[in-house]
Structure 1
Amino acid sequence: MSIDRETFERATEDELRDVSVPDQVLAFLTAHQDRAFKATEIARQLDLEPDTVSTALTRLKSRELVEHKSAYWALTSDSNRLQSSADYERATQLFNDQLGAEAKDDWEAHAPAEPHPSHQSDNDTDTNTS
């Protein structure tokens, strides 16, 4: 995965080493955007576990950043979608730099035990309201 020069100059070795699997997969598909690959081929090229790559691809598909047909995966052709994702990532990094990264454990400690009613399925809601 490529990074901008400013990131290269300010990041530590450890920070540069910790590129997420979805980012690695997305970078690989971006570098080969004229082709579609099987998940196992992507895993082999990136020296990652196939199951890990499959999970990353599924998550990227849910974000509409990759397309899936039969056993093949490719980068989305929707350049606006890719740009929106890149803008989101840049904004998140900016806020993390200014305010500190969000601590997931702290967030989960304050999260409600039950999901908000808008996130419950129809089967989970009480239909006997008056």
Structure 2
Amino acid sequence: MPISIDRFDEEPVSALDLQEGTHPYRLLQFLATHSDQAFTQTELHEATNIKRGSVGAALSRLEERGLVRHRGRYWAIAEDDRLASYAAQTNASSSSTTDDYYGDEE
């Protein structure tokens, strides 16, 4: 879908596309759904079906925006009040796809 030339000119080059279906959106949604856990890039690749090479690049862009954090090999959603609200909302309506992959906690 085209955007206006004004939006094109005004949007910063570093702007991150968080539209539904994009890699950053899918990763953020998955991490928000599992906000009590941290995952390796391989686990994120397997859970989201995003190409391995694309997972790292998308995570780096999300980290630059303060939306995810990592320690060592593990990545998790950032500790941010806005994201906590998003995670709670996402957890309430999580899809069975991620539950099927990781199973129930009980």
TM-score for the superposition, normalised by structure 2: 0.58
Aligned to 1:57: 59
Q: Does structure 1 residue 31 correspond to structure 2 residue 18?
A: no
The alpha-carbon deviation at position 69 of structure 1 amounts to 0.4
Extract unaligned runs of 5+ from structure 2.
Answer: 1-19, 87-106
Which is helix-richer, 1 or 2?
1
- Aligned partners of 2:44 and 2:30: how far apart in 1? 8
SS of alignment partner, residue 74 of structure 1? strand
Which residue does the alignment assign to 2:46? 44
Whole-Å Cα distance in 1 between the matches of residues 29 and 21 of structure 2? 10
Instruction: Give 1:79's aligned residue.
Output: 81
Q: For residue 36 of structure 2, what is the amino acid of its counterpart?
A: D
* Structure 1 consecutive aligned stretches of length 4 or more whose deviation exceeds 3 Å: none
**Inter-partner Cα distance in structure 2 for 1:47 and 1:19:** 12
SS at match of 1:67: strand
Larger radius of gyration: 1
1:28 shift after superposition: 0.2
Match of 1:70 in 2: 72
Structure 1: which 5+ residue stretches go unaligned? 1-17, 86-130
CA distance in 1: counterparts of 2:80 and 2:67, whole angstroms: 8
Question: TM-score, normalization: structure 1?
Answer: 0.48
Q: Between Structure 1 and Structure 2, how many residues are aligned?
A: 66
Aligned-pair identity (%): 36
